[in-house]
Amino acid sequence: DAGVIQSPRHEVTEMGQEVTLRCKPISGHNSLFWYRQTMMRGLELLIYFNNNVPIDDSGMPEDRFSAKMPNASFSTLKIQPSEPRDSAVYFCASGPQDRDNEQFFGPGTRLTVL
Amino acid sequence: AQSVTQLGSHVSVSEGALVLLRCNYSSSVPPYLFWYVQYPNQGLQLLLKYTSAATLVKGINGFEAEFKKSETSFHLTKPSAHMSDAAEYFCAVSNTGGFKTIFGAGTRLFVKA
Protein backbone atom coordinates (compact mmCIF):
# COMPACT_ATOMS: atom_id res chain seq x y z
CA ASP A 1 0.00 0.00 0.00
CA ALA A 2 1.40 3.39 -1.00
CA GLY A 3 -0.05 5.22 1.98
CA VAL A 4 -1.54 8.70 1.83
CA ILE A 5 0.02 10.69 -1.00
CA GLN A 6 0.35 14.45 -0.87
CA SER A 7 1.62 16.84 -3.49
CA PRO A 8 3.56 18.96 -3.74
CA ARG A 9 5.88 18.19 -0.82
CA HIS A 10 7.15 21.75 -0.79
CA GLU A 11 5.55 24.91 -2.12
CA VAL A 12 6.99 28.40 -2.09
CA THR A 13 4.76 31.15 -3.35
CA GLU A 14 4.28 34.87 -3.08
CA MET A 15 1.59 36.61 -1.12
CA GLY A 16 -1.61 36.94 -3.11
CA GLN A 17 -1.07 33.84 -5.21
CA GLU A 18 -3.44 30.89 -5.29
CA VAL A 19 -2.15 27.67 -3.74
CA THR A 20 -3.62 24.22 -4.28
CA LEU A 21 -2.59 21.26 -2.16
CA ARG A 22 -3.51 17.76 -3.24
CA CYS A 23 -4.18 14.51 -1.41
CA LYS A 24 -4.80 10.94 -2.46
CA PRO A 25 -6.12 8.89 0.48
CA ILE A 26 -5.51 5.22 1.02
CA SER A 27 -7.81 3.15 -1.14
CA GLY A 28 -10.87 1.96 0.75
CA HIS A 29 -10.68 4.62 3.45
CA ASN A 30 -13.87 6.61 3.79
CA SER A 31 -12.76 9.50 6.01
CA LEU A 32 -10.36 12.24 5.01
CA PHE A 33 -8.91 15.01 7.15
CA TRP A 34 -6.91 18.17 6.46
CA TYR A 35 -4.67 19.51 9.24
CA ARG A 36 -2.33 22.46 9.56
CA GLN A 37 0.74 22.35 11.81
CA THR A 38 2.70 25.35 13.05
CA MET A 39 5.05 25.90 15.95
CA MET A 40 2.72 28.47 17.48
CA ARG A 41 -0.61 26.69 17.12
CA GLY A 42 0.36 23.04 16.95
CA LEU A 43 -1.79 20.62 14.95
CA GLU A 44 -5.13 22.10 13.90
CA LEU A 45 -7.96 20.23 12.18
CA LEU A 46 -9.19 22.31 9.26
CA ILE A 47 -11.90 20.12 7.73
CA TYR A 48 -12.90 16.50 7.44
CA PHE A 49 -14.95 14.49 4.98
CA ASN A 50 -16.83 11.22 5.30
CA ASN A 51 -17.76 9.39 2.12
CA ASN A 52 -16.69 12.48 0.14
CA VAL A 53 -19.10 14.76 2.05
CA PRO A 54 -17.73 17.61 4.21
CA ILE A 55 -18.80 16.93 7.78
CA ASP A 56 -17.13 19.68 9.77
CA ASP A 57 -15.32 22.69 8.34
CA SER A 58 -15.36 24.76 11.51
CA GLY A 59 -11.57 24.72 11.59
CA MET A 60 -11.16 26.45 8.26
CA PRO A 61 -9.63 29.75 9.27
CA GLU A 62 -11.12 32.08 6.67
CA ASP A 63 -13.06 32.21 3.45
CA ARG A 64 -9.72 32.22 1.68
CA PHE A 65 -9.54 28.50 2.45
CA SER A 66 -11.64 25.94 0.62
CA ALA A 67 -11.54 22.16 0.33
CA LYS A 68 -13.13 19.71 -2.04
CA MET A 69 -13.37 15.97 -2.39
CA PRO A 70 -14.81 15.23 -5.83
CA ASN A 71 -14.34 11.48 -5.45
CA ALA A 72 -13.08 8.88 -3.02
CA SER A 73 -9.51 9.03 -4.27
CA PHE A 74 -8.77 12.74 -4.41
CA SER A 75 -9.06 15.89 -2.33
CA THR A 76 -7.77 19.44 -2.64
CA LEU A 77 -7.18 22.26 -0.22
CA LYS A 78 -7.05 25.67 -1.85
CA ILE A 79 -5.90 28.97 -0.43
CA GLN A 80 -6.79 32.06 -2.41
CA PRO A 81 -5.25 34.55 -1.98
CA SER A 82 -2.40 33.25 0.13
CA GLU A 83 -0.83 35.27 2.96
CA PRO A 84 2.48 34.89 4.83
CA ARG A 85 0.62 33.71 7.95
CA ASP A 86 -0.60 30.69 5.99
CA SER A 87 2.97 29.34 6.02
CA ALA A 88 2.79 25.95 7.73
CA VAL A 89 2.93 22.22 7.10
CA TYR A 90 -0.37 20.90 5.83
CA PHE A 91 -1.20 17.26 6.45
CA CYS A 92 -3.82 15.08 4.88
CA ALA A 93 -4.94 11.95 6.73
CA SER A 94 -7.39 9.21 5.89
CA GLY A 95 -9.16 6.62 7.97
CA PRO A 96 -11.08 3.39 7.35
CA GLN A 97 -14.62 2.73 8.53
CA ASP A 98 -13.75 -0.12 10.86
CA ARG A 99 -10.57 0.99 12.62
CA ASP A 100 -11.96 2.97 15.56
CA ASN A 101 -11.16 6.42 14.17
CA GLU A 102 -7.52 5.56 13.56
CA GLN A 103 -5.94 7.93 11.06
CA PHE A 104 -3.13 7.45 8.56
CA PHE A 105 -1.17 10.60 7.81
CA GLY A 106 0.54 11.68 4.64
CA PRO A 107 4.05 13.17 4.62
CA GLY A 108 2.73 16.72 4.53
CA THR A 109 3.17 19.75 2.28
CA ARG A 110 5.45 22.48 3.59
CA LEU A 111 4.00 25.78 2.40
CA THR A 112 5.98 29.00 2.50
CA VAL A 113 4.26 32.22 1.51
CA LEU A 114 6.67 35.11 0.99
CA ALA B 1 -16.73 18.54 24.28
CA GLN B 2 -13.46 16.68 24.27
CA SER B 3 -9.99 17.92 25.09
CA VAL B 4 -6.49 16.63 25.67
CA THR B 5 -3.74 18.02 27.88
CA GLN B 6 -0.17 16.85 27.56
CA LEU B 7 1.96 17.75 30.55
CA GLY B 8 5.38 18.97 29.50
CA SER B 9 6.19 20.25 26.05
CA HIS B 10 9.70 18.79 26.34
CA VAL B 11 10.95 15.69 28.13
CA SER B 12 14.59 14.65 28.28
CA VAL B 13 15.78 11.20 29.36
CA SER B 14 19.03 9.28 29.18
CA GLU B 15 19.36 6.28 26.90
CA GLY B 16 18.18 3.21 28.80
CA ALA B 17 16.04 5.20 31.23
CA LEU B 18 12.28 5.00 31.66
CA VAL B 19 10.18 7.13 29.34
CA LEU B 20 6.97 8.61 30.79
CA LEU B 21 4.88 11.02 28.75
CA ARG B 22 1.75 12.29 30.45
CA CYS B 23 -1.68 12.79 28.93
CA ASN B 24 -5.00 13.72 30.52
CA TYR B 25 -8.23 13.86 28.60
CA SER B 26 -11.73 15.16 28.98
CA SER B 27 -14.68 13.47 27.34
CA SER B 28 -18.39 13.29 28.09
CA VAL B 29 -18.70 9.94 26.33
CA PRO B 30 -16.52 6.81 26.38
CA PRO B 31 -13.43 7.83 24.46
CA TYR B 32 -11.08 6.34 22.00
CA LEU B 33 -7.55 7.35 22.98
CA PHE B 34 -4.45 7.37 20.84
CA TRP B 35 -0.75 8.07 20.92
CA TYR B 36 0.89 9.13 17.68
CA VAL B 37 4.58 9.75 17.01
CA GLN B 38 6.06 12.25 14.57
CA TYR B 39 9.64 12.02 13.41
CA PRO B 40 11.27 15.08 11.81
CA ASN B 41 9.85 16.01 8.42
CA GLN B 42 7.30 13.20 8.52
CA GLY B 43 3.61 12.77 9.17
CA LEU B 44 2.18 11.29 12.35
CA GLN B 45 2.20 7.52 12.84
CA LEU B 46 0.00 5.56 15.21
CA LEU B 47 1.85 4.11 18.21
CA LEU B 48 -1.12 2.59 20.01
CA LYS B 49 -4.82 3.06 20.70
CA TYR B 50 -7.37 2.34 23.43
CA THR B 51 -10.88 1.42 22.35
CA SER B 52 -12.53 0.11 25.54
CA ALA B 53 -10.95 -3.31 25.53
CA ALA B 54 -7.95 -3.96 27.83
CA THR B 55 -6.92 -0.91 29.83
CA LEU B 56 -3.22 -1.62 29.32
CA VAL B 57 -2.45 -1.16 25.66
CA LYS B 58 0.75 -2.27 24.01
CA GLY B 59 2.01 -0.55 20.90
CA ILE B 60 4.91 -0.58 18.53
CA ASN B 61 8.57 -0.07 19.46
CA GLY B 62 8.05 -1.25 23.07
CA PHE B 63 5.67 1.53 24.07
CA GLU B 64 2.57 0.97 26.18
CA ALA B 65 -0.12 3.10 27.78
CA GLU B 66 -2.63 2.55 30.54
CA PHE B 67 -6.15 3.91 30.47
CA LYS B 68 -7.20 5.09 33.95
CA LYS B 69 -10.78 6.29 33.92
CA SER B 70 -10.72 7.52 37.53
CA GLU B 71 -7.75 9.75 36.73
CA THR B 72 -8.83 10.55 33.15
CA SER B 73 -5.29 9.73 32.12
CA PHE B 74 -3.60 7.82 29.33
CA HIS B 75 0.12 8.09 30.04
CA LEU B 76 2.67 6.63 27.62
CA THR B 77 5.61 4.62 28.93
CA LYS B 78 8.60 2.68 27.68
CA PRO B 79 10.93 0.87 30.11
CA SER B 80 14.16 1.71 28.34
CA ALA B 81 14.68 4.66 26.01
CA HIS B 82 16.57 4.30 22.77
CA MET B 83 18.16 7.07 20.75
CA SER B 84 15.72 6.32 17.94
CA ASP B 85 12.80 7.22 20.23
CA ALA B 86 13.66 10.91 19.94
CA ALA B 87 10.60 12.45 18.30
CA GLU B 88 7.43 14.36 19.06
CA TYR B 89 4.56 12.45 20.63
CA PHE B 90 0.90 13.40 20.42
CA CYS B 91 -1.92 12.17 22.60
CA ALA B 92 -5.37 12.29 20.98
CA VAL B 93 -9.00 11.63 21.89
CA SER B 94 -11.96 10.68 19.75
CA ASN B 95 -15.33 9.07 20.41
CA THR B 96 -17.46 6.27 19.07
CA GLY B 97 -20.10 8.60 17.68
CA GLY B 98 -18.01 10.51 15.19
CA PHE B 99 -14.79 10.89 13.31
CA LYS B 100 -13.28 14.03 14.75
CA THR B 101 -10.05 13.53 16.71
CA ILE B 102 -8.66 16.13 19.08
CA PHE B 103 -4.87 16.20 19.36
CA GLY B 104 -2.81 17.45 22.27
CA ALA B 105 -0.08 20.05 21.85
CA GLY B 106 2.62 17.41 21.66
CA THR B 107 5.61 16.46 23.80
CA ARG B 108 9.06 16.46 22.29
CA LEU B 109 11.20 13.63 23.64
CA PHE B 110 14.97 14.06 23.76
CA VAL B 111 17.19 11.04 24.43
CA LYS B 112 20.70 11.67 25.72
CA ALA B 113 23.54 9.26 25.11
Residues in chain A with pLDDT values less than 70: 1
Q: What is the mean pLDDT of residues B13-40?
A: 93
pLDDT for the residue numbered B61: 93
pLDDT of residue B1: 77
Inter-chain touch B100–A42, beta carbons under 8 Å: no
User: Does residue B34 sit at the A interface (CB-CB below 8 Å)?
Assistant: yes
- pLDDT for A81 equals 96
Query: Is some CB atom of chain B closer than 8 A to the CB atom of A58?
Result: no
Residues of B whose CB is below 8 A from A50: 99
Q: How far apart are CA A12 and CA A15, in angstroms?
A: 10
Of B43, B94, B95, the CB nearest to A107: B43
Q: Which residues contact A63 (CB under 8 A, 6 or more apart)?
A: none
A21 touches chain B (CB under 8 A): no
Spatial contact of A30 and A38, defined as CB atoms under 8 Å apart? no
What pLDDT is recorded for position A103? 93
How far is the CA of B3 from the CAs of A77, A106, A114, B102, in angstroms? 26, 24, 34, 6
The per-residue pLDDT for B54 is 84
Which H/E stretch holds residue A71? strand A65-71
Instruction: Using DSSP, state whether B61 is helix, strand or coil.
Output: helix
B41-99 pLDDT, tens digit per residue, is 899 999 999 987 788 999 999 999 999 999 999 999 999 999 999 999 999 998 766 67
Contact of A102 with chain B, judged by CB distance below 8 Å, is answered with yes
Return the pLDDT at B97: 66
Q: Kindly tell me the burial class for residue A2, based on how many C-beta atoms sit within 10 Å of its own C-beta (0-12, 13-18, 19 or more).
A: exposed
Express each pLDDT in B83-92 by its tens digit. 999 999 999 9
